[in-house]
Amino acid sequence: MSRKILLKHIDVPGIRGLKAYRENGGYQALEKALKSMKPDEVTEEVKKSGLRGRGGAGFPAGMKWSFIAKPEGVPRYLVCNADESEPGTFKDRYLMSHLPHALIEGMIVSSFALGANTSYIYIRGEMLYVYHILEEAIAEAYEAGLLGKNILGSGFSLDLYVHPGGGAYICGEETALIESLEGKRGNPRIKPPFPAVKGVWGCPTVVNNVETIASVPHIVNMGGDEYAKIGIGKSTGTKLISACGHINKPGVYEIELGLPAEEFLYSDNYCGGIRNGKKLKAVVAGGSSVPILPGELFLKTANGEPRLMSYESLADGGFASGTMLGSGGFIVMDEDTSIVKNLWNFTRFYHHESCGQCSPCREGTGWMEKLLHKFLDGHATIEDIDLLWDIQSKIEGKTICPLGDAAAWPVASAIRHFRSEFEEYVKNPHSIKDVKHYFRINNLVEQ
Amino acid sequence: MKKTAFINDKPYSFEPGDTILSFVRRYFERDFVPTLCDAPNLDPYGACRVCSVDVALVKDGPCKAQASCHTPVMENSYIYTDSERIKRLRKNIVELVLTDHPLDCLTCEVNNNCELQTVAARVGIRDVRYPEGKNHLDRKKDLSHPYMTSDFSKCINCARCVRACDEVQGEMVLNMAGRGFDAHIIKSFNNNFFDSDCVSCGACAQACPTSAISDVFESKSVSADKKVRTVCTYCGVGCNLEVAVTNGKVKSIQAPYDAAVNQGHTCLKGRFAFSFYNHPDRLRTPLIRKNGELVPATWDEAYNYIANELNRIKKEHGPDAIGGISSARCTNEENFLMQKFIRAVIGTNNIDSCARVCHSPTALGMQRTFGTGAATNSIIDLKYTDCVMVIGANPTDAHPVTGAKIKQFFMKGKPSIVIDPRRTELARYATYHLQLRPGTNVALLNMMLYYIVMDGLEDQKFIESRTEGYEDFKKHILNLDINELEKVTGVDKSLVRKAAHAYATSPNAMSFHGLGVTEHSQGTYTVMLIADLAMITGNIGRRGVGVNPLRGQNNVQGAADMGCQPHQGAGYLDSYDPEINKMYSAFYGVDVPMRKGLKIPEMYDASLAGKMKAMWLMGEDNAQTDPNTQHVVSAFKQLDLLVVQDIFLSETAKLAHVVLPASSFLEKSGTFTNGERRIQRVNAVVEPLEGTKPDGQIMCEIMKHMGFNQPDYHPGVVLDEISRVVPFFAGVKWDELGENGKQWPVKPDGTDTEILHTESFKLGKGRFQTATWRETEELKSNSEQFPYILTTNRELEHYNNGTMTRRTGNVEILTEDVLLINPADAQKHNIADGDMVCISSARGKIDVKAKLTDEVKSGVVSSTFHFPDIHMNDLTSSVADSEAMCPEYKVVAVSIRKSKGVYKK
Ligand SMILES: Cc1cc2nc3c(=O)[nH]c(=O)nc-3n(C[C@H](O)[C@H](O)[C@H](O)COP(=O)(O)O)c2cc1C
Ligand code: SF4
Ligand code: SF4
Ligand code: SF4
Ligand code: SF4
Ligand code: FES
């Protein structure tokens, strides 16, 4: 199960440049699509491939594309979500900085499928170096006639822009991203209307993650059916996982979906086991937003079946005993980690990043942070655990955008699985305070 | 087929486009579902989440909390508005909000009228479970502005203010800054209200559910004894106002959300500029000139004096030595009485109104082409149009509420055209700004017509079925020398062509025009060409099209409708026609004259020639507002009797022999007719200031004094009389006008009319009229010596000559008239921003402060006449529209130079 698709050529010298990329099969999908396929046929292949969105929610990409409204005379847009700001997730920047043309080819083929003649890559503002890499690659592509008017004589034209954001996590939420792209404050929009009907500049728009789009050329090349054979069940294809935390080999790995979780965590091909021979305590399997799982529940489902790295298996058991594949930000915590302190740190992040539009999230994230701080200070009471639970339950599913959920789930899962640790903080504040460590958000993303 | 959904398990049918909230509110009272960020005149926003309800897609299915204000109703879904879960959710949300809100309700300005308070009570908050923490209770109040205030410690981040400023006013002053807990409202670049770009419309204050944004009048407090709905007096938009009264005094003004005209919006004049009404300067007793001095007198003395003088003059010089000028600021009833007085009691057609100096060319031009001198469509049509053309109008300043709507349209990026010598606010948003040389409207519109004909964009079907005279018209148009016209107007012909295409090819195109069209020597011709443009493109007689004059004063339409012009009596019937004369005579019960009457400028000439002996002015300050002041003043000085009815001792009143103190609009009842022909009820809010009388009552009393059988004044009675003589008022009844009035023509059964000319024109067929551009006499004779063109305009904050607005806080916002000069011209004359400039014309010279701006092109200067000390009308000329005699305020040949000091006459 070690098939590589996206990162197959990552080690080829000069692969960042157009020449090496082309020599290694790059832009073949583009030629194939533009010269021999109709836009709808491309969409059809993507549908068949079963490719699911890699940005977090895992929504089938082909289906999303087929929802796009096509009113007469109204332009359509494709926007690539390269905001990647989720703590623990750092796969898109890896892909873009090493293989910029993979994304660009994906953008062109996908734009062709959607009938978009202007497309945007919205990149996180802090990733300026990647911005420059992309700009350079785009210039090369224009030069080679792969972008611009009448690409390769096909009659299809596309202009591609890279738009750096201003450094707000919320701008990764697709509608906030669109607002920000339009030059406004990045507030998520209420839905409906969905971007497929009213997105950028009020026109039909598809927003896809970097990895989703970069997968499209491979699907075009091998055919949707062939791609669907990779992976397991409805989790088709391969997925980039950015692994970090207390493991021996942090880094970005491409895995075939369905890889056993245990193998991923312990095999030397991947994470290489827990650092310093420590024991596993907990895993956040898909980026800071997804529910945290105790080690045992990560490795085996509640039914005792081995957990696989797939959308379905990780979600097995619902939120009671499962989690989500999310955006593939894999954070491992050893036995010395303080769940409460770590949770406080995550919550602080969401509090800081809430856009402030809806009251439950604006005020609720703040109060969750304050309450968690009470635990750390040793002033918390047992009732505070229930209050914390109460607040998160009034945020989850009750806000404009899923940032509210993202803030609530870690709290809910931490209380669900580690209640005793909260109680310990109440009963015995001093004993527990010094020894435990936690993840600083900055360290997470720098690895 | 109606679709059904269930509310608390009972089926109800819903309309397409319903949100859960609008659906529920259709069947239950407003606060059945509590809300905080929702507001009647704003788009759903979904921020507070207090409106959440449980929704299940099937009976007994799993419920999901949905924000009802923005979630569409799903067919056959089950909506639970008050499940235990939802109650807890709402409670928790409000509790969270209250953790950052001061709990000092008892001393809060909006105590008892606070939506947060109501919602907190509604969801049953008893305590706040969250420990004290960081909050924003220490935020400072903003008291920088004469009207607007803020205290953001009370802010609950619902963004209603931001949306009101964006969606209603379109000013984009307010925004949220900061993220999450730090999110807070800012004004412009984090300024206070005074330094921000705020135009003080008050929409944000009205929208704010707490006292976080409010105004100095505490409009949202509940201390008022009563609230009275009436109509604003400051412009032809005719906004409805809800006036709060405490102890017999006006306390504050808000805008009713259900007002058809303004939907909860106003400008700062309507909402805040009311303090003039009990200003110490108000006249409180009649004055009679004795030994050259105006001295207080009783009403009887005044009436006797006037009656004696009028009778004497009538006997010695005949009734035509007497003239009256009525006012577009007064009600329909008062205007009707005024013309009745002049015609039936005095016995002359020397009656005119201030419509002469603003929209007389509109009435005439539209009568000649369509047959009816009134807006063909309604303001609501802005919702249905695809292209808007604004000619010689600056509605964001002069008709702010309509202006805001037009600006919203412009900002949506649909085709929009502005024809104006100045780069007005709208011009900045327009697709095409045709910045022509002042005085060349006719040339420019001819260019547009030329391209429409040349490029075959006419609506043949409309032309054939609805109009006549097209062949001749076409010949005339094709003979035009387009290059010559390009030179004359100074506008690139390819730009004109693009604009013409935009107007002609949009499915529905609407035009608006203002005084920049009418106040010209070719004003009537310009109006006719605007009508031609509408006819040639078939833009008449349905939603979203038409020719729509923006009426200056509040009741310009009404003053003309009521017959305040020499050639047409009440209802525009020809006062020189023998048959009609018989009808009028029978109606008034006395013989009314058929002799030609004089228009305002002719009255001045007659006075200077010794033929006019007495004039009666109702609420007019002609010595300020009419052009060529010195000429007007000498005319008044020649009279044996000048009677002025006014609320202040105006410049004109100072010249009068008798001054009668009138009541302001807040003190009287009647009707105003707005620019879209909407007859709306004006309701007395407070008792007339002691010593004053409503103008209508004064008219009735003097009529009786002079022996005419006129019943005591009651607006309803007069309106009834009007409805019996003015055909298009046939079905107008005082008690049936309702809150939002009716748009004339009103049929006898009471149905009114939103759109004119839907089937046919008043004239049967529309008549194409040609016009050839001519240079105005003013420039022909004076431009050598006076090479610049002065054009006059308005500013938002002030109304006309400012007698009212200068007696309010508005004067703190805009303190003076300035002269707009293009920087290139300024440099030539060594003039810097803020320097005093001396402007001279063939009539006189004045000093005014310079403001350098590229709003005006080189060669053109522009100013206002809100501040009488400047004497702007000393400069303007007596040249007038050749047809309607509307003075040419918009083109004056002047020279400019830097002045050494303040020039005093
Ligand atoms: C707060 C928040 C942040 C998000 N950040 C990202 C991001 O950085 N990158 C991303 O691809 N999707 C992000 N998403 C998900 C996007 O909203 C969207 O679902 C995704 O871009 C769709 O792409 P996909 O279908 O290809 O996964 C975020 C969502 C939320 C609620
Ligand atoms: S959930 Fe949070 S981040 Fe999302 S819109 Fe609401 S306040 Fe903003
Ligand atoms: S008063 Fe009007 S212009 Fe000023 S901030 Fe409020 S809404 Fe905007
Ligand atoms: S100032 Fe008022 S309207 Fe604006 S966000 Fe605050 S509470 Fe809402
Ligand atoms: S827009 Fe006109 S009618 Fe409305 S409030 Fe302002 S001045 Fe009054
Ligand atoms: S009223 Fe619906 S979210 Fe505020």
Whether A75 contacts chain B with CB within 8 A = no
Neighbours of B172 (CB within 10 A): 12
Question: Three-class SS of residue B208?
Answer: coil
Ligand nearest to the CA of A214: 1
CB contact (8 A) between residue B180 and residue A356: yes
- B113, burial (CB in 10 Å: exposed 0-12, middle 13-18, buried 19+): middle
pLDDT attached to residue A447: 38
Average pLDDT estimate for B256-279:
93
Mean pLDDT of A78-106: 96
Report the nearest atom of ligand 5 relative to the CA of B270: 5
Residues within a 6 A CB radius of ligand 6: B 35-38, 46-51, 67, 69
Judge whether residue B303 has pLDDT over 80.
yes
Whether residue B436 is predicted with pLDDT greater than 80 in this model: the reply is yes
Could you tell which of B144, B149, B173, B188 is best to mutate to test the pocket of ligand 3, judged by most ligand atoms within 8 Å of the CB? B173
Half-sphere CA count of B764, side-chain side, radius 13 A: 2
- Confidence class of residue A340 from pLDDT cuts 50, 70 and 90? very high
Give the binding-site residues of ligand 3, using a 6 Å CB cut-off.
B 148, 164-165, 169, 171, 173-174, 198-204
What pTM does this model have? 0.89
Query: In chain B, count of helices (H) and strands (E)?
Result: 29, 36
Ligand (nearest to CA of A397): 2
Give me the residue from B96, B130, B178 closest to A359, CB to CB. Answer: B96
Instruction: For residue A169, give every residue at least 6 positions away whose Cβ sits within 8 Å of its Cβ, in sequence order, or none.
Output: A83, A85, A86, A349, A353, A403
Residue to substitute in A173, A352, A405 for testing ligand 1 pocket (most ligand atoms within 8 angstroms of CB):
A173
C-alpha to C-alpha distance for B546 and B388, rounded to whole angstroms: 10
Does residue A192 have a cis bond before it (omega within 30 degrees)? Answer: yes
Residue A434 in this model has a pLDDT that exceeds 60: no
- CA B532 vs. chain centroid, Å, equals 25
Which uninterrupted H or E stretch holds B661? strand B658-661
Using a 10 angstrom Cβ sphere, with 0-12 exposed, 13-18 middle and 19 or more buried, the burial of residue A343 is: buried
A90-112 as b/e: b if 16+ CB within 10 A: bbbbbbbebbbbbbbbbbbbbbb
What is the spatial distance between Cα B293 and Cα B764, in angstroms, rounded to a whole number? 57
Q: Is the pLDDT of residue B691 over 90?
A: yes
In the 3-class helix/strand/coil scheme, how is A4-62 assigned residue by residue? CCCCCCCCCCCCCCHHHHHHCCCCHHHHHHHHHCCHHHHHHHHHHHCCECCCCCCCEHH
State how far Cα B39 lies from the chain centre: 25
Among all residues of chain B, which has the CA nearest to that of A367? B130
Q: Which atom of ligand 2 is nearest to the CA of A176?
A: 5
CA distance B684 to B693: 12
Query: Which residue is it, tokens 């030059």?
Result: A183
A357: Cβ below 6 Å to ligand 2?
yes
Task: Name every chain B residue with its beta carbon within 8 A of the beta carbon of A192.
Answer: 72
Between the CA atoms of A140, A143, A148 and A150, what dihedral angle is there, to the nearest 10 degrees?
-130
Q: pLDDT tens digits, residue range A217-230? A: 999 999 999 999 99
Those residues whose C-beta lies under 8 Å from the C-beta of residue B540, and which sit 6 or more positions away, are B370, B376, B462, B466, B534, B546, B547, B757, B766
Report pLDDT digits (tens) over B872-895. 888 888 888 888 788 888 889 999
Burial bucket for residue B596 (CB in 10 Å: 0-12, 13-18, 19+): middle
CA of A79 vs chain B CAs: smallest distance (Å):
23
State the average pLDDT over residues B709-721. Answer: 93
Q: Which ligand does the CA of B46 lie closest to?
A: 6
User: Does residue A1 have a pLDDT over 60?
Assistant: no
pLDDT one-digit tens code per residue, A18-71: 999 999 999 999 999 999 999 999 999 999 999 999 999 999 999 999 999 999
Rounded mean pLDDT of B271-275?
A: 92
Give the residue, by CA position, lying nearest to ligand 5 atom 7: B234
Q: Quick one: what percent of chain B has pLDDT higher than 70?
A: 99
ipTM value for the complex? 0.86
Across the strands, what pairs with A274?
A: A247
Q: What is the mean pLDDT of residues B391-400?
A: 92
Query: Could you give the CA distance from residue A150 to residue A41 in angstroms, rounded to a whole number?
Result: 20
* Total Cβ atoms within 10 A of residue B233: 26
Strand B10-14 to strand B3-7: parallel, antiparallel, or no bridges (unpaired)?
Answer: antiparallel
B895: three-class secondary structure by DSSP: strand
Residue B903 has pLDDT above 50, yes or no: no
Nearest atom of ligand 1 to the alpha carbon of A170: 1
A211 CA to centre of ligand 1 in angstroms: 11
Mean pLDDT of the B384-399 span: 94
| Helix, strand and coil in chain B, % to nearest 5 | 35, 20, 45
Above 60 in pLDDT, residue A373? yes
Chain B touched by A190 (CB under 8 Å): yes
For residue B744, pLDDT over 60 is answered with yes
Ligand nearest to the backbone CA of B37:
6
Residue B309: which residues within 8 A CB-CB, separation 6 or more? B614, B640, B641, B657
- Cα(B255)–Cα(B643) distance, integer angstroms: 36
Query: What are B243-253's pLDDT values in tens digits?
Result: 999 999 999 99
In this model, does residue B777 exceed pLDDT 80?
A: yes
**Residue A168: its chain B contacts at CB < 8 A?**
179
Bridge pairing between strands B892-898 and B836-840 = antiparallel
Q: Determine the average pLDDT of the residues in A399-406.
A: 95
- Asked if residue A402 has its Cβ within 6 Å of ligand 1, the reply is yes
CA distances from B268 to A150, A182, B198, B866 (A): 55, 32, 10, 16
Residue, of A213 and B651, whose pLDDT is higher? A213
B46 to chain A: which residues are within 8 Å by CB? Answer: 190, 357-358, 400
For A412, how many CA atoms within 13 A lie in the half-sphere containing its CB?
23
Set of chain A residues whose Cβ sits within 8 Å of the Cβ of B49: 358-360, 398-399
For a pocket test of ligand 6, which of B23, B35, B79 has the largest count of ligand atoms closer than 8 A to its C-beta?
B35
CA of B62 to the centre of ligand 2 (A): 24
What is the Å distance from ligand 4's center to B178 Cα? 15
Q: What gap in Å lies between CA B172 and CA B192, rounded to an integer?
A: 14
List pLDDT tens digits, range B357-380. Answer: 778 888 889 999 998 889 999 999
Domain A235-334 architecture: Roll (3.10)
CA atoms of A210 and B689, how far apart (whole Å):
73
Triad B182, B183, B185: Cα angle to 5°: 125
pLDDT category of residue A436 using cuts at 50, 70 and 90 = low
**Which of the pair, A383 or B354, is modelled with greater confidence?**
A383
* In CATH, A339-446 is 1.20.1440.230: yes
Is residue B137 very low, low, confident or very high in pLDDT (cuts 50, 70, 90)? confident
B70, B92, B156: residue with CB nearest A394? B92
Q: How would residue B309 be classed by pLDDT, with cut points 50, 70 and 90?
A: very high
pLDDT at position A439: 63
Cα angle B241-B392-B626, degrees, rounded to a multiple of 5: 75
Helix (H, G, I), strand (E, B) or coil at B564: coil
Residues B181, A398: C-beta atoms closer than 8 Å: no
Q: A446 pLDDT exceeds 50?
A: no
Residue B779 DSSP SS3: helix
DSSP letter at B712 equals: P
Record the tokens describing residue B220, joined without a space: 């949202």
Lowest mean pLDDT among B205-214, B315-324, B651-660, B870-879: B870-879
A362 at B interface, C-beta within 8 A: yes
| pLDDT at B801 > cutoff 80 | no
The pair of three-digit structure tokens given for residue B690, joined into one six-digit string: 């002691």
Q: What is the DSSP string of A161-202?
A: EEEE--S-GGGGSHHHHHHHHTTS--PPPPSSSPTTTS-GGG
Residue A400: pLDDT band (50, 70, 90) is very high
Q: Residue B756: phi, psi to the nearest 5? A: -90, 165
How close is the Cα of B35 to the center of ligand 6, in Å? 5
Cα–Cα distance, B152 to B888 (Å, whole number): 49
Side chain identity at residue B510, one-letter code: M
DSSP one-letter string for B682-705? E---SPPPTT-B-HHHHHHHHHHH
> Whole-angstrom Cα distance, residue A90 to residue B522?
71
Nearest CA to ligand 4 atom 2: B208
Give CA–CA dist B713/B701, Å, rounded: 8
> Does an H or E element contain B643, and which?
strand B641-646
User: In sequence order, what are the beta bridge partners of B764?
Assistant: B761
Q: How many CB atoms lie within 10 A of CB B564?
A: 29
Averaged pLDDT score across all residues of chain A: 93
User: What mean pLDDT comes out for the span B771-792?
Assistant: 88
The mean of the pLDDT values for chain B is 91
Ligand nearest to the CA of A170: 1
CA atoms within 13 A on the CB side of B734: 16
CB contacts, 8 Å: A390 with chain B: 92
Interface test with A, best of B179, B185, B386 (most A CBs within 10 A): B179
The tens digit of pLDDT for each residue in A137-152 reads 999 999 999 999 999 9
Kindly list the structural domains of chain B, giving each domain's residue range(s) and its CATH number in brackets, ordered by start: 3-98 (3.10.20.740), 131-278 (3.30.70.20), 287-317+326-357+562-593+612-743 (3.40.50.740), 360-549 (3.40.228.10), 777-898 (2.40.40.20)
Mean per-residue pLDDT, B562-573: 93
pLDDT bin (cut points 50, 70, 90) of residue B905 is very low
Distance B234 CA to ligand 5 centre (A): 6
For A184-269, where are the E strands, in sequence order? 205-209, 231-232, 235-236, 238-245, 251-256, 259-260
pLDDT at B406 > cutoff 50 = yes
**Average of per-residue pLDDT across B754-772:** 89
Find out whether B792 and B628 touch, Cβ atoms under 8 Å: no
Judge whether B72 is closer than 8 Å to chain A, CB to CB.
Answer: yes
User: Measured between beta carbons, which residues in chain B are less than 8 angstroms from residue A190?
Assistant: 44-46, 67, 70
pLDDT surpassing 60 at residue B742: yes
How close, in Å, is residue B535 to chain A by CA atoms? Answer: 29
Q: What are phi and psi of B681, to 5 degrees?
A: -80, 130
pLDDT recorded at residue B900: 72
Q: Where are the domains of chain A?
A: 18-229, 235-334, 339-446
For residue B358, what pLDDT is reported? 77
Rounded to whole angstroms, the Cα distance separating A300 from B266 reads 66
Look at B181 and A185 and tell me if their CB atoms are within 8 Å. no
| Residue bearing the CA closest to ligand 1, atom 29 | A173
Distance (Å, rounded) from C-alpha B488 to C-alpha A301? 85
| Residue type (1 letter), B774 | R
Interface of A with B in 326-355 (CB under 8 A): 351-355
Q: Which CATH architecture has domain A18-229?
A: 3-Layer(aba) Sandwich (3.40)
Q: From the CA of B694, how far away is ligand 2's center (Å)? A: 57
Give me the residues of A, 403-442, that contact B with CB < 8 A: none
B179 contacts on A by Cβ (under 8 Å): 168, 170, 352-356
The count of C-alpha atoms lying within 13 angstroms of the C-alpha of B363, restricted to the half-sphere facing its C-beta, is 26
Query: Is-contact A159 A119, C-beta < 8 A?
Result: yes
The amino acid at B355: A
Cα angle A180, A184, A190 (rounded to 5 degrees) comes to 75
- The answer to whether A359 contacts B157, with C-beta atoms less than 8 Å apart, is yes
Amino acid of residue B601? P
pLDDT-based confidence at residue A353 (cuts at 50, 70, 90): very high
Other CB atoms within 10 A of residue B687 CB: 10
Is the shortest distance between the CB of B212 and ligand 4 below 6 Å?
yes
